[in-house]
Structure 1
Amino acid sequence: MRGLVIDTALGGLSVALFEHGTILASRHELMARGHQERLGELVRDVAAEAGGFDGLGRITVTVGPGSFTGLRVGLAFALGLGAALDRPVLGITTLAALAGSVDSPGDASAGLPVLAAIDARRGEVYAQAFAGGPAVV
C-alpha cells in the first residue's frame, strides 16, 4: 500500500510518497511562509515521479505542535485531497514524526529511547519521549 505524507508544521515543507516503507519520491523546501503556494506543486511533482496516486491507501499529515498557519495549510490540503481521492487522512504529531525519522529497521539505534524536542520559543520547548515507537511521556 502507498502512503502520502505531508509536513508543514515547522520551518519547511516536506512531501513524500512511500510504499511498504520505501520512499518512492520526496521533496523538501525550507520556508517560513508560502506553504500554500508550493504545497500543491510539490505533491504534484512527487506523485508524477512515483507514477501517480494508483494504490494510494492513505494520506498522513502533521497536526502539531508547529506554526498555526503552516498546520492549517497542510491539514486543509490533506483533507481536500483525501476527499477528492476518497482516501483516509490520518494525523500524526510533529514530535512523533520527528522521533520516527530517527528509528529505522536495521539501524544500530533501533529500539533505543528517543526524545523529540522542538523550540516553542520564549525559552520553552515541546518535548516527548518515545521508546521503540509509542510515546512514553
Structure 2
Amino acid sequence: MFDLSKPCILAIDTSMAACNVAVFDTASMTGSVRAEPMARGQSEDLVPMINDVLAAADRSYDDVGLIVVTVGPGAFTGVRIALSAARAFGLTLNCPVVGVLSTDALAQTLIARGTVHHDETIMVLMDTKRGDYYTQLFSSDGAPLTEPSVTKRDELSALIGDYSVVVIGDCPQIAATLNGARVDDTVVFADMDHMARVAATRWGNGGAGAFLSPEPVYLRGAEVSQSKKIGRTIAENQ
C-alpha cells in the first residue's frame, strides 16, 4: 500500500464536458466528491473544487498519498488540464501520480451502481466531436475486452457483434439506434469517488504497475502509437 501516514487518494477527471474531483480516505473508508457539468472553465474551477472536497473530508493536501487522473481519451484541452494539475500536485506533495482511462472510469461507475447484468458487456460510447466516437468494451466485472478506439457511426454495430451490451457515455441518442443494445443514460460522466476506491484496491494489488503512466492518451494520427501502449497494458493486467 501507499504510505499510510498519507491515507487519502485524490481523483481528478476533466476529460469530458465536466469537472469531477473526489477524495477517498482509506483510513475512515469515507469520501467526498464534487462533479459539475461544464464545457469550459475547468482550469479555473478545478483547484477550488479540490479544496472543497478536501475540506468536506476534513483533510488537507498533506494527507494525500496518491493522485489518480484520467488520461483520455477525451477532449484535448480537458485531458491536459487534469494531467497538468495532477502532475503539479504530485511534485509539490511528493506523492505518486497514476493514470486511468476515461473509458475505464465510466465502466467502473456503472458497475458501482449495480445495474449491469452478469451476462452483459459494457460498451463505453463517447462523442469525439469530430463525427465519430471513442469506444471500448468491458466485461460486466470491468475487465477490458478491447482497446479504446475511434469508431465511425456505421462501424458501431460491427463492434458490438454478438455481445449483449449495455451502452453508457455522453451520446445516448446514438446508442439508442443500435439494434439489441440496452442504453443506460444515467452514466454520462465518471464517478471519481468510486474510481478512487477502485484505485485503492488496484494500488494494493499491484502498485503503480496496475495503472497507466500520467501521460495523455489520444487516438488519432501520430498518437495511434499510444494506443499500442495501452494494448500492452491491458494484456499485462488481464
TM-score, shorter chain, exceeding 0.5: yes
| 2:31 alignment partner, SS class | strand
Partner residue of 1:104?
112
| 1:96 alignment partner, SS class | helix
Structure 2 gap ranges (5+): 1-6, 147-238
| Identity %, equivalent residues | 36
| 1:60 alignment partner, SS class | strand
Q: Distance in 1 between matches of 2:130 and 2:84?
A: 28
Partner residue of 1:40?
47
Pairing partner for 1:3 from 9, 18, 26: 9
Partner residue of 2:22?
16
Q: Distance in 2 between matches of 1:110 and 1:91?
A: 28
Change (3 A) 1:23 1:129: farther
CA contact (8 A) 2:8 2:25 kept: yes
Question: Whose Rg is larger?
Answer: 2
Partner residue of 2:76?
68
Cα displacement (A) at 1:71: 1.0
| 2:110 alignment partner, SS class | coil
Structure 1 gap ranges (5+): none
Pairing partner for 1:78 from 86, 92, 112: 86
Change (3 A) 1:79 1:119: same
| 1:103 alignment partner, SS class | helix
Aligned length: 136
Q: Which portions of structure 1, spanning 4 or more consecutive aligned residues, are displaced by more than 2 angstroms?
A: 53-57, 107-113
| 1:125 alignment partner, SS class | strand
Query: Where is the helix percentage greater, Structure 1 or Structure 2?
Result: 2
Change (3 A) 1:92 1:122: same
Pairing partner for 2:142 from 115, 133, 137: 133
Q: CA RMSD in A?
A: 2.1
